């Protein structure tokens, strides 16, 4: 497909994403999340079409009539192009898993909120929207180069008053009651199917913490936001704002077998461990007994309790 088509799709894509960010940052507009999602999905769809156009991959729907392609068309004769979900599910898609999960989440939310009144959902999906915008800028640079970056348009919104922890709790409680049950159910179901690594991916959900800063030097006065590590000395001075992510301990199968032998279950072996996890379908995500990282399965501490109980009952 021609370069002119690719460039036209890119221009439409960037315009749509800039509009999505501007809408979200506009204090006069209600239903920010809903409007951002709809516009961002349009933007991503154009971006994916631009990518497939660049790679000369046909992104039009068709069916075969004999040995010939017959393209599907609308009632007015236009080609039917792939929707975003089809674009990201295609094997040739350039998107990583975290970015694809983020878009699938937003597509699912869009399905749930169509034609419905949904107040106060920003608090619960804002991190996904931030990730969506950052992912977009990263992907457009990766695919088409730095000159297409829109980072200057991805600004942080300014608010006029700070929110105390007590106010935050009240707002969260009130907004929970206003979120439609179908939206809450969708979020719970969608995220229950992601493993720990997918849930923690910054490409899926980008979380940041804002803290007020008192500066000691004049050249720091313009610094409105500071990023600090949970393990740094500065983190000790932040109360009820900074949340430290706690990484779950992970154990290889050999570690667990050795652990049981050290606890005097001397006849327990890798063979019995394999039989046990297969019998209990323990690698099923719904049990949350472990996680796959880089093709290697690691077990969590709650699985060790199951193994220990098995050893006790079978007199190993």
Q: Find out whether 171 and 93 touch, Cβ atoms under 8 Å.
A: no
How large is the average pLDDT for residues 203-216? 59
| Burial (Cβ within 10 Å: 0-12, 13-18, ≥19) of residue 250 | middle
Looking at residue 308, its pLDDT comes to 93
HSE at residue 8, side-chain half, CA atoms within 13 A, is 6
Looking at residue 100, its pLDDT comes to 93
Q: Find out whether 212 and 202 touch, Cβ atoms under 8 Å.
A: no
pLDDT in tens, 123-163: 678 888 888 988 999 999 999 998 898 877 665 554 444 44
Q: Which two tokens stand for residue 120?
A: 């106060």
pLDDT higher than threshold 90 for residue 268: yes
Q: How confident is the model at residue 277 (pLDDT cuts 50, 70, 90)?
A: very high
Looking at residue 191, its pLDDT comes to 80
163 — phi, psi (to 5°)? -115, 125
Q: How confident is the model at residue 276 (pLDDT cuts 50, 70, 90)?
A: very high
Looking at residue 188, its pLDDT comes to 79
Say what the alpha-carbon torsion angle 19, 20, 22, 26 is, to the nearest 10 degrees.
Answer: 130
Q: Find out whether 228 and 242 touch, Cβ atoms under 8 Å.
A: yes
pLDDT in tens, 40-76: 999 999 999 999 999 999 999 998 888 898 999 988 8
Q: What percent of the chain has pLDDT over 70?
A: 74
Looking at residue 154, its pLDDT comes to 61
Beta strands, E only, 23-143:
62-65, 68-71
Query: Which of 21-30, 95-104, 163-172, 244-253 shows the lowest mean pLDDT across its residues?
Result: 163-172
Beta strands, E only, the chain:
62-65, 68-71, 290-293, 296-299
d(CA 189, CA 194): 9
Looking at residue 123, its pLDDT comes to 65
pLDDT higher than threshold 90 for residue 303: yes
Note the helical H segments in 218-300. 253-262, 270-279
Q: Which two tokens stand for residue 216?
A: 């000691």
Q: How confident is the model at residue 193 (pLDDT cuts 50, 70, 90)?
A: confident
DSSP per-residue codes, 194-224: S-HHHHH-TTT-----------SSGGGTT--
- pTM, to two decimals: 0.60
Looking at residue 89, its pLDDT comes to 93
Looking at residue 24, its pLDDT comes to 87
Looking at residue 162, its pLDDT comes to 46
Most distant CA atoms of the chain, gap in Å? 77
pLDDT higher than threshold 80 for residue 204: yes
Closest CA to 300 of 191, 196, 176: 196
Q: What's the whole-number average pLDDT of the chain?
A: 80
More confident residue, 114 or 87: 87
Q: How confident is the model at residue 218 (pLDDT cuts 50, 70, 90)?
A: very low
Q: Find out whether 42 and 136 touch, Cβ atoms under 8 Å.
A: no
pLDDT in tens, 227-253: 555 556 665 555 444 444 455 788 999
More confident residue, 236 or 16: 16
How large is the average pLDDT for residues 190-194? 82
């Amino acid at each position: 497909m021609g370069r002119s088509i690719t460039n036209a799709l890119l221009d439409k894509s960037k315009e749509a994403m800039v509009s999505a960010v501007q809408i979200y940052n506009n204090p006069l507009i209600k239903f920010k999340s809903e409007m951002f999602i709809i516009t961002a999905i349009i933007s991503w769809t154009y971006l994916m079409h631009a990518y497939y156009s660049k790679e000369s991959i046909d992104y039009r729907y068709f069916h075969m009539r004999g040995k010939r392609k017959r393209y599907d068309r609308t009632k007015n004769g236009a080609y039917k192009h792939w929707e975003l979900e089809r674009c990201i599910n295609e094997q040739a898609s350039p998107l990583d898993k975290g970015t694809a999960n983020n878009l699938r989440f937003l597509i699912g939310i869009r399905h749930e909120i169509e034609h419905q009144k949904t107040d106060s959902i920003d608090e619960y999906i804002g991190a996904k929207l931030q990730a969506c915008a950052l992912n977009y800028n990263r992907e457009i640079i990766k695919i088409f180069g730095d000159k297409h970056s829109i980072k200057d348009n991805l600004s942080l919104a300014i608010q006029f008053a700070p929110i105390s922890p007590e106010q935050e709790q009240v707002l969260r409680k009130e907004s929970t009651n206003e979120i439609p049950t179908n939206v809450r159910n969708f979020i719970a179901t969608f995220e229950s199917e992601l493993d720990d690594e997918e849930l923690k991916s910054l490409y899926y959900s980008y979380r940041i913490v804002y803290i007020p800063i008192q500066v000691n030097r004049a050249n720091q006065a313009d610094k409105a936001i500071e990023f600090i590590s949970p393990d740094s000395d500065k983190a000790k001075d932040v109360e009820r704002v900074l949340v430290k992510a706690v990484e779950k301990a992970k154990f290889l199968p050999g570690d667990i077998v050795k652990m049981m032998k050290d606890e005097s279950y001397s006849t327990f072996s890798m063979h019995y461990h394999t039989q046990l996890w297969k019998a209990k379908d323990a690698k099923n995500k719904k049990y949350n007994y472990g996680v796959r990282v880089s093709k290697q399965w690691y077990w969590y501490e709650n699985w060790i309790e199951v193994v220990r109980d098995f050893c006790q009952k079978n007199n190993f």
